[in-house]
Structure 1
Amino acid sequence: MTLSVSDIFRKLNEKNKCALVPFITAGDPNLKITEKILKILDKEGASIIELGLPYSDSLADGPIIQEAAARALSRGIKFDNVLHMVQNVAQDISSPIVIFTYYNLILTKGTENFVQVINKSGAKGLIVPDLPLEESEELLSLCSKNGIELILLISPTSSLERIELIAKKAQGCLYIVASTGVTGIRSDLNLEIKNLIKTVKRITDKPIIIGFGISNPSQVIQVKSWGVDGIVLGSAFVNKIANFNAETTLVELTSFCKEIKQAIDFVQ
């Protein structure tokens, strides 16, 4: 049985390990390939996997992930198709799947129905980057009742008071956004995030993951040294899948995942 997000962090903490959290877009290039990729990421050491639902107005995402979503939508990928695929693969992998989506899609499907169906699919967590904290109570309650952990985000512009509120409400872990703006590959990381991590760790003992802009082994090693519990790489993985080639893409993706996993496990 797949563990919850919280259980994964408890196990990693016992071993003083940091979580690898790759992100991919469901349905790019198609759902059969997405299923293969989920199995590859699980086999190569992903602790948790973020699975983005393709959405036409993904405001938090940069060009790489937006283009992946557009490709999936252009091929007719639907919400129900994605959940059917998740249901097929979740029982075969140990990495819990966290659904990444936008609030409007949840509202369109009906909040209670949405949470119930992603739980039925075998997903274990949910990230909604545009969910206002002030409107999160219903979703938090429904997730709690349905075995889904709602992961809340902290940005570099969050006030101390707001960080305290987010930390109190968050389920599973806290997600620190490493830079303002959208997701993407960046050559340099915002070093002020190191201080933000220290602030959050003073407020709560909940696990902390960090993402947005982290894309290579040296950045992974740098961010891990700041004391986080997990590192998210999105655009870097999605970019490996773009321009899919049946002969080379999965081999290259496997190699990249191995490389990032080695960086995560690197002991300084």
Structure 2
Amino acid sequence: MNKISGAFLNRKAFIPFITSGDPSLEVTEQLVIKMAEAGADLIELGIPFSDPVAEGEVIQNASMRALAGGVTVDKIFDMVGRIRSKCPVPLILMTYVNPVFAYGTEKFFKNCKEAGVDGIIVPDLPYEEKGELTPFCSEYGITFISMIAPTSGSRIRMIAKEAEGFLYCVSSMGVTGVREHIGDEVNKMVEIVRSVTDIPCAVGFGVSTPEQAARLAAFADGVIVGSAIVKIIEKYGPDCIPYVVEYVRMMKNAVKNCEGL
């Protein structure tokens, strides 16, 4: 069992997402450590990108702020290296395929390994084209996290059979962002996955309240929250850490209370 799968062992996982460098890399570094202390089981770090097609306005704006602040992929790797010496929680980079290619694919994954990155999510890379990256993931020991969505249909079983670490289940159509209501499609997706594999299923896109997290954790293995946390960071800027920590603790408790159900 790899480190990422181990984060789901005997518990429901809470997985926060933040954009690296928003409001600064120094704050991001502190946030990761403090979120882990507050109960985060895995942490997703977004690499800011000028055209994040899967993201809603909140995370798009966070990317723009980070890029305006001079964040680069090299600076993110340096930050992850510093975090890794203080924080054992698995770290996953969320990026788009263009920044990886522009950086140099082999160099990117080599630096992932050296920095201590555990996994990668690439939302704009179709399943059929994952071979562009998975050989490098295998060579450098980086887990490639696959995604499924309500539109995946008959491909869900195929994707699930080859998935590693955990399966990222997109709760609803469209881009990331806080939603009032999350439909039942994701429950059906998890049922299909369960029919072919026992890989952990974590649900993301639109989750923001403890009630939503608890409802999803009742049938899924983990809950992913991004936009709601990024909105807190946007609101409080450099002073966001205690507010994010309070939110993460609240959401982790909601997920944890579903264990054993």
Deviation at 1:245, TM superposition (A): 4.4
Which secondary structure does the structure 2 equivalent of 1:112 belong to? helix
Alignment of 1:1-268 (within 5 A): 4-9=3-8, 12=9, 15=10, 17-160=11-154, 162-225=155-218, 227-247=219-239, 249-267=240-258
Question: How far apart are the structure 1 equivalents of 2:134 and 2:167?
Answer: 14
**How far 1:201 sits from its partner (Å)?**
1.1
Distance in 2 between residues matched to 1:38 and 1:20, nearest whole Å = 13
Superposed CA deviations along residues 103-125 of structure 1, whole A, max 9, x for unmatched, are 11111112222111111111100
C-alpha offsets along residues 147-204 of structure 1, whole Å, 9 cap, x if unaligned? Answer: 11000100101122x1122112222111110011100000100122211211111121
Deviation at 1:246, TM superposition (A): 4.2
CA-based RMSD: 1.3
One-letter amino acid matched to 1:237: I
Whether the 8 Å CA contact 1:91–1:122 is kept in 2: the answer is: no
- Which letter does structure 2 place at the counterpart of 1:123? V
Give, in whole Å, the separation in 2 of the partners of 1:75 and 1:245: 13
Does structure 2 retain, via aligned residues, the 8 Å contact 1:42–1:93? Answer: yes
Amino acid in structure 2 at the alignment position of 1:21: I
Deviations for 1:18-44, whole angstroms, at most 9, x for unmatched residues?
Answer: 000000000000000000000111100
User: Which structure 1 residue ranges, 5 or more long, are not aligned?
Assistant: none
User: How many Å separate the matches in 2 of 1:192 and 1:53?
Assistant: 29
Per the TM alignment, residue 77 of structure 1 is displaced from its structure 2 partner at its CA by: 0.7
| C-alpha distance after superposition, 1:206-227 (max 9, x if no partner) | 11111000011000011011x2
Alignment length (residue pairs): 258
One-letter code aligned to 1:107: F
Distance verdict in 2 for CA 1:195–1:222, change over 3 Å: same
* Secondary structure at 2:133 match in 1: helix
Assess if the C-alpha contact under 8 Å between 1:8 and 1:47 holds in 2.
Answer: yes
> For the Cα contact (< 8 Å) 2:97–2:125, is it kept in 1?
yes
What code does the residue aligned with 1:204 have?
T
Task: Give the % identical residues.
Answer: 39
Counterpart residue type for residue 110 of structure 1: G
Q: SS of 2:151's equivalent?
A: coil
TM-score, with structure 2 as normaliser: 0.95
**Equivalent-residue separation in structure 2 for 1:25 and 1:116 (angstroms):** 22
Inter-partner Cα distance in structure 2 for 1:32 and 1:8: 26
CA contact (8 A) 1:177 1:210 kept: yes
Contact 1:27–1:34 (CA under 8 A) maintained in structure 2: yes
| Contact 1:124 1:149 (C-alpha < 8 Å) held by counterparts | yes
What is the TM-score with the length of structure 1 in the denominator?
Answer: 0.93
In 2, the alpha carbon distance for the partners of 1:245 and 1:98 equals 23
